[in-house]
Amino acid sequence: MSLAGIVLCGGKSRRMGVDKAGLIFDGRTWLEIAAHTLTAAGADRILYSGRPDLPGGLADPTPGSGPAGGVVAALRQARLYSNQVLCVPVDMPQLSPDALRRLAAQPGIGACFEGEPLPFALRLTPAILAIAEACLSARGAPSIRALLHQVGCVEIPTPAGLKLRNLNTPQDLASLKPDG
């Protein structure tokens, strides 16, 4: 099974005040960390949603559609060469490849962890893509949670010790500590 990685990195970072993709943690940018985590989890190609300036980068094709619009755009592109995706936000620099592999190994359409729409794994079929497109068209700017629910993703238990924290503010950034 071919696996593509999607990094959601097109937000305006209003609460953080700077582009989160360029922030440094443990000597690497958050964008580099997200790409490395996806590659270590088995992704053989990385797409950068909202960053057309990067190789593998995609513009947000539907202004105002939020992260769900970026996800659908990345799904359109990924289906050309993959039959499954792993999607992570750029602002979870402590996410582990093991957690992503756990999501990708789930049977069925796709999975995310309980109470958290990100990260997620999703199988790519014409039917799934059609449902995602219809959800985006019908609602304009659905949440990622609503999009995943609509396509039939399941929530699985969150592994003990897994850090699923989006870092959105300078205060969040100040609380970030290396694991070692």
Domains of the chain: 3-174 (3.90.550.10)
Measured CA to CA, the distance from residue 157 to residue 89 in angstroms comes to 19
pLDDT of 180 reads: 47
Q: Is residue 30's pLDDT more than 80?
A: yes
**H helices present in 106-169, as ranges:** 126-139, 144-151
Q: What one-letter code names the amino acid at 19?
A: D
Please name the residue that has the structure tokens 């937000």: 11
Contact 62, 21 (CB under 8 A): no
pTM: 0.90
pLDDT of 74 reads: 93
pLDDT of 167 reads: 74
Measured CA to CA, the distance from residue 145 to residue 114 in angstroms comes to 11
Q: What is the pLDDT of residues 76-130, one digit of tens each?
A: 999 999 999 999 999 999 899 999 999 999 999 999 999 999 999 999 999 999 9
Element (H, E) at 70: helix 66-78
Q: What is the pLDDT of residues 34-79, one digit of tens each?
A: 999 999 999 999 999 989 999 989 987 776 677 888 899 999 999 9
Measured CA to CA, the distance from residue 35 to residue 72 in angstroms comes to 19
Find, among 58, 120, 73, the residue nearest to 95 by Cα.
120
